[in-house]
Structure 1
Amino acid sequence: MGLPNVIVCVGGCDDHKIPQAAVTVFSPSTSTFWCLEKMSYSIALCGSVVMEDNSVFVCGGLTTTDETNRVSRYYPVHNTWESVAPLQHRWAGSGVAALGGRVYVAGGYYYVNDNWEPLRSVECYDVLTDSWQRVAQLPVDDLWGCSMVAVDDRVYMFGGISQQRKTNAVFCYDPTSDTGSRLADMPTARNWCCACVGPRGLVYVIGGRRSGAKYLNCVEAYDTTTNVWLKKRGMITKRSMAGCGCVDGKIYVLGGASTEEECLDSIEFYDENTDTWTMHECRLPKAIRGFGCAVMKMQKD
């Protein structure tokens, strides 16, 4: 559309673990930030995706009181938010991806009777009918804290927590046959990692946490055509609950947390040609983690 790609960061938690309503845009091409219209509620551990019409969907997440099934849609032309049909279940820590004009939300958890209850459900949103429906469940009993991307005609889920343990499992959902399958395991088991499709089609799974609350800087790339994992150079900073996106041939990783108490405001980017990471001169306006992150087209004016 002749507009530059930018990275949109929605909600998230600060050092005090308080959900936010702010929506921040980072433009790598101009090294600038600006703020969009805030959401009508504060949210963290939500999922956000950009659709083909450049609108942004924010699904589920953790509010200041509990998990929610609210879904909001942002229209960049008018800088406005609207509520759309809610999810069938309230949940946080889900994987979210967009494919073929539909939004997919998988896994997650909710808090009930003093316990964290994980889910294995997958819901699909149809933009034309403004409705959600259940599709084939995940091929595991439960999953939350995973990362999720769409490549070609399938949706892929990486890592997370299953059966109360960090997992290196990788799952694929095929909307055409409404079936799920397990693929080659990641080399590193982890949750709260972020993932995006790189400039040459590889899926990069970045950072996260492993057993013992160990924060990671490891980066592994998955080839969906060969079902093979490739080891890549680790980030400069260990990060969990960060956001990421590929813009103009570089992969940017924003914010996150390096310890349970410390949020990050730093940004670093990866060059696939040289397999190197570089700290960006810019920093987020506020240290934040657990936010929705997506790449869209927009210019400041």
Structure 2
Amino acid sequence: MKLRILQVIQSNEFLNFDASKLQTILESDDLNIQTERVAFEAIKLWYEHDASARKQKLSDLISYLRWTQLDTNFIIENIRPLPGCHVVALEAVSWLNIPSIRKTISLRYTSPRKAEPVFLALNTWGGQSRAIFQYDKTDDLWHEWVDIKTDVTKVEVILMDDNLIFIGGTRNDKAIDEVSSWNFNTKIFQRLPSMNQSRYLHYVVELNRKIYAVGGKGANGEILQSVEMYTASDGWKAINSMSTPRAFVNAVVLNEKIYVIGGENSNKLKSVECYDPTTNSWTQCADVNEIHSNPGASVHNGQIFVVGGAHNIDSSTVERYDPQRNEWTKICSLNIKCQRPGCISIYNQLWAVGGYQNWCTSNFVSVYDEQNDKWIDKKPIPKDGYYYCFTAPKCLL
């Protein structure tokens, strides 16, 4: 039986659980939570109910967390200060940041929980309807889960906790700086602080609880070189700009860094650059082999894949980046020519969903067979469009 810890925490009996019962919950791979932080908050809530009596059990319960699902800053700021947790927190930080010493550190869990997430795809282009479709793996079918109403088009979206964050875009063909949060539970929008600059045809990523808005076009159609970062405490602030202006760009996060791929300004671009938040600096990476303007992109098995959107608006080119070698390799092309498909790594496979084909939006869905270097077409998604693909725990639905 899958455990829904949010319901357990909210029950009257939770605070009086003995340590062994809480341990049983934390051990479960089927724990139905959205982020590992929920498990941490449950432990902390239980401990604080009777801190003096439960102090001796705290570090042992903390050791049942899935450390790879927590970032270094969170561990240092929230777990290390707890009584008796200093050593396990520092070991976890060392394991995460120094691969060469992992064999010398014994952590209970270094892999995520195994409960399979839900695969969702959000249509982000055109009209006033933003349908979210849920994928049924058993029947290879898509079902509409909810329809979100908004008058913003060409918007970028990111999932954080139980909210979809809608960032920038256009309204009545004019670029906007607006940011709104749509909650999965209430299904209501709430305004967040606006960006410093209006943007559309930009891209957004999340790294260590911070959202980054990269490039795009501004209020007067100018192509932007600027990048800004959002935190819940400080709102939006500018960080160092990219080396070149970019719109129609894509970006991914790998190894605690942000990789920005292709796009265009006055020229269509092959260049790739990488942002390191610890130094607030950009470095150049190897160029892609083909020009990729408005591609899809995703991290899969420790490498970056850029999909479609090459020098033609309907390109099918796919490339793979090895960060250790700083090298791009062309792999099997898509079965159709496409721009800006939604890309995601799920079920140990790389997926491409929707996009733009022959001047029209597309509803194709395809999966990369890495062993045989070929793309396998799946049942199409019901509605044409650009898609933002993401995974969510079942408890979110």
Instruction: Quote how far apart the aligned CAs of 1:298 are.
Output: 4.1
Is 1:76–1:298's contact at 8 Å kept on the other side of the alignment?
A: no
Partner of 1:155: 258
Q: Output aligned runs, 1:119-130, within 5 Å.
A: 119-127=224-232, 129=233
- The structure 1 residue matched to 2:144, chosen from 11, 20, 34, is 34
Instruction: Quote how far apart the aligned CAs of 1:3 are.
Output: 5.3
3-state SS in 1 of match to 2:260: strand
Measure the CA separation in 2 of the matches of 1:287 and 1:8. Answer: 12
Measure the CA separation in 2 of the matches of 1:197 and 1:166. Answer: 23
Measure the CA separation in 2 of the matches of 1:78 and 1:152. Answer: 34
Unaligned runs of 5+ in 1: 14-18
Instruction: Quote how far apart the aligned CAs of 1:130 are.
Output: 5.4
Structural RMSD (CA): 2.0
Partner of 1:294: 389
Partner of 2:159: 50
Q: Is residue 135 from structure 1 mapped to residue 239 from structure 2 by the alignment? A: yes
Is 1:37–1:79's contact at 8 Å kept on the other side of the alignment?
A: no
Measure the CA separation in 1 of the matches of 2:209 and 2:284. Answer: 24
Partner of 1:16: none
Measure the CA separation in 1 of the matches of 2:131 and 2:313. Answer: 29
Measure the CA separation in 2 of the matches of 1:101 and 1:244. Answer: 21
Instruction: Quote how far apart the aligned CAs of 1:175 are.
Output: 0.6
Report the more deviating stretch, 98-107 or 63-72: 63-72
Measure the CA separation in 1 of the matches of 2:250 and 2:339. Answer: 12
Q: Is residue 9 from structure 1 mapped to residue 104 from structure 2 by the alignment? A: no
Question: Are residues 28 and 139 of structure 1, via their aligned partners in 2, closer, same or farther at CA, if it must alter by over 3 Å?
Answer: farther
Q: Output aligned runs, 1:261-272, within 5 Å.
A: 262-272=360-370
Is 2:128–2:150's contact at 8 Å kept on the other side of the alignment?
A: no
Question: Are residues 231 and 244 of structure 1, via their aligned partners in 2, closer, same or farther at CA, if it must alter by over 3 Å?
Answer: same
Instruction: Quote how far apart the aligned CAs of 1:168 are.
Output: 0.6
Measure the CA separation in 2 of the matches of 1:20 and 1:73. Answer: 16
Is 1:97–1:104's contact at 8 Å kept on the other side of the alignment?
A: yes
Measure the CA separation in 1 of the matches of 2:178 and 2:372. Answer: 42
Partner of 1:273: 371
Report the more deviating stretch, 143-152 or 224-233: 224-233
Partner of 1:257: 356
Q: TM-score, normalised by structure 2?
A: 0.67
Instruction: Quote how far apart the aligned CAs of 1:87 are.
Output: 0.9
Measure the CA separation in 1 of the matches of 2:352 and 2:157. Answer: 16
Q: Relative contact order (C-alpha < 8 Å, sep 6+): which is higher?
A: 1
3-state SS in 1 of match to 2:368: strand
Measure the CA separation in 1 of the matches of 2:162 and 2:351. Answer: 20
Is the radius of gyration larger for structure 1 or structure 2? 2
Partner of 2:248: 145
Instruction: Quote how far apart the aligned CAs of 1:196 are.
Output: 0.5
Measure the CA separation in 2 of the matches of 1:179 and 1:296. Answer: 30
- Output the amino acid matched with 2:392: K
Unaligned runs of 5+ in 2: 1-32, 34-114
Q: Larger % of helix: which?
A: 2
Kindly provide the CA deviation profile for residues 103-137 of structure 1, in whole angstroms up to 9, marking residues without a partner as x: 0011111352xxx311100000002x150000001
Partner of 1:247: 346
Q: Output aligned runs, 1:201-220, within 5 Å.
A: 201-210=302-311, 213-220=312-319
- Count residues with an aligned counterpart: 281
Partner of 1:168: 270
- The structure 2 residue matched to 1:84, chosen from 188, 192, 195, is 192
- The structure 1 residue matched to 2:129, chosen from 15, 21, 30, is 21
Question: Are residues 230 and 85 of structure 1, via their aligned partners in 2, closer, same or farther at CA, if it must alter by over 3 Å?
Answer: same
Measure the CA separation in 1 of the matches of 2:162 and 2:350. Answer: 20
Partner of 1:229: 328
- Output the amino acid matched with 1:151: L
Instruction: Quote how far apart the aligned CAs of 1:76 are.
Output: 2.4
Q: Is residue 196 from structure 1 mapped to residue 301 from structure 2 by the alignment? A: no
3-state SS in 1 of match to 2:190: strand
